[in-house]
Structure 1
Amino acid sequence: MDTASNDHQQLFDVAPPPSLPERILALAADFTRHHDQLADHRLNTPSHADQLTAPRRSAERLGHQARGLRHEVSATLPRYPAATRDAVARLHQLTHLAETAAAHLDGLQRTLETGSPATRSTAVTTARALTRLAADDLVASAVSVAHELRVRNIRDLSAQALPLSAAENEALTAVAGGHVALTDPQGSPYVESRPPVAIATLRALTAQGLVESVAMPAEYENWRDQARLQLTGTGRAHLAGLAGHPASAAPPTARSLSATPATAPAPGPAAPRTAPSRR
């Protein structure tokens, strides 16, 4: 009797779908993976023209997903303040930036497939540059949306937040923005932004199931045999919950449309070292 009851209960114990801020954070991770994929230095060579198909389709898919999320944010928060307007504007921009990146990759692929002389093309570099800031903008957008969902009594995600330290939360934000990579699973992290992330913090977050490592492409132009850290579904849920927590400070807005992006700090002598900026 108890077994049948438990089986019946399990049929209804289905995890709720990810919230809107969580899906925005997931898109940030997708943009980071796409950016890493374009670091393959062979993509400019005629013998590997067919390998441009995957990153081109990836860029097209990212543009489609950004457009869908923009429409959803607009529909969910139809009369929104400046912070959410920036989030909508960023999703709109990322839609077109991803589509433009796909067009550059498609043009390069067509050129290489026709057997044109092998000249060094800037198409891949341009495609990478177009979406280089995407992950950071999407993280800030997710924070803004989560905050507005709570203050407008649409959805309170604060219960998803775990009791983590400030250092752990800062590390999760850096991971969400695509700034943390490992030389190896047991090595020191390379961090593209300050403050540095301690390897002990990353190991603690991994043990809690909040972050996971994803292997870099073997042909990554700058780094070899490394792994990129990204948030798990639990990590995204926590970050979305933290952003919507009543005790949180005013949410950061997406990068100002007129702001000049800051460059990554130069490597210092102390570990962990600063990674080269994503190009």
Structure 2
Amino acid sequence: MSRSPSHPVRLFASVLATGALLTTAACAGGDSDTVAAEATASPAAEAARAVGKTPTPSPGTLTESGAKAALLTEADLEDDWQRVEDADKWRDTLLVGKVDVADFLTAKADAADCQKLLDGLYGDDLLGKPSGASALAGFEQGDSRLLEQVAAYDQATLDDAMKWLKSLPAECDQFTATGSPDGERTVQVTQTSVPKEGDARQGLHVTVQGTAADAPATLTLDVAVVRVGNDAITITAGGLDGGEADSVTQGVELGTQRLKDVLAGKTPTSNPGQFD
């Protein structure tokens, strides 16, 4: 009476059989190149190759150098805008004053928003303090000025700022600001259209009627803000000679593209003559 092989014997026989099958498959399949190709196509090999692949570029974090590179240049703007170096020191005293609460139906609430507008235009921080990189560029043309800021913000802060800007034409339609050095001023705020750029946008037209150098004067400012992710560009242009709506529109279109290029890891280029 024969006995069944013990477990170790059965295991050894199984290994021999598997080896024979592999040898037969190799002979039938052709040369060693074919075997190598099959090994390369294995899941493990594919995973190893995937590790070495260059990832698809995605929007990056705005850096100080990136913010500066995203700023408009003289070549991006029509007319005779000239870049100046002291734009961070620009201040217009017509924007200094205390909002008269008596002008508002809801008093302190709306007055605070309008005060924030005046203070933001005066201090060049309309969207609040940036949370990351920030850069400014200023241009002059006659008595008019154009100021652009490119900056990174906290997402919640930026969202709140965009909602606040949208509310201003209704809340701050017309009000009075008082105080030295230019006495009483009448401020009007209206909404303006902004090119459909970025993830969100808002435009304002602000006039401040008062006195400057003891003579009647009206400061007119066109303002545009465009959000791109958690970053934004803010362009303010105008002066005592009137607003600069066309230049702001041009700046929005080219400035937004420059910011997008920087975030994508590209070097932005100027576009002279695009609007001829």
TM-score range, shorter chain: under 0.3
Tell which structure's C-alpha radius of gyration is larger.
2
Structure 1 or 2: more helix by fraction:
1
Q: Say which structure, 1 or 2, has more relative contact order (CA 8 Å, 6+ apart).
A: 1
What is the TM-score of this pair, normalised by structure 1?
0.26
TM-score w.r.t. structure 2 length? Answer: 0.26
